[in-house]
A and B are shown apart, each in its own frame.
Chain A
């Protein structure tokens, strides 16, 4: 049970990858890719967690209190926003593909 977060991260990655590989619709592929991306956030934040520790914000708690790791949170934070913007880029490409070829099938049929 103490390895459940890592198992969930691995499962999310596998499920997202399965969606990308076996998809018949470009939009479905792009959203499955974002699910695979979210597995990295879950893994990073689970690695940095300390039991019975608080968030690394010391506005109202003294600095002697135990806090979780702030470095992995900084990594995930920017990644969430930037990942969504790259997904927007992929969606724009999908829209143009549909305009040019009339179909959203990655197989090309």
Chain B
């Protein structure tokens, strides 16, 4: 059976440390925007940790919510691209084909999660950071869109390795950079079509919800959150 890559984000485990953000930058050759550009809204993070506050002083409660591309089955970004740069792979990924992109930015406007990013300038790295670029990931030039790929380079490497060894992929054999670096194991990546996988088990948890699920985008990322005390008493 074909793979269907998915992720679970356990909000009850997330501490908001942003290790995932740093790991993603390093793995995927994402340049840092710098102070000026960030202030102008040009910061690029394929995964970000959203912070929301509930309640007022003296008892505010902070909630962290890591948001990355939800790799939707019914992705609003895909039909709007005039050049097929935003493309649905047979394994269910929303891939962005940089070479096809002419930069209309329609996909970014159509995405309800704001997880698509545009290269306003050619990327630059402060020396000596250019030496740590990942050779498996293309560096994107000015004028194209980019976004979370679910570390497609890792997926492909693992698939090729498994095929060379004439065996099936094992669950947990590889994972994305963000999930790998999460100290509290709040991010779990894997094959949703493999019913024995950890991600498939957790995705069907009754703690699970989809981000903006009401829009019908059918995300492949599931958020886990324990109900509040009041919910439990209703339940």
Decide if A and B are genuine partners: no
Question: Which residues of A come within 8 Å of B, CB atoms?
Answer: none
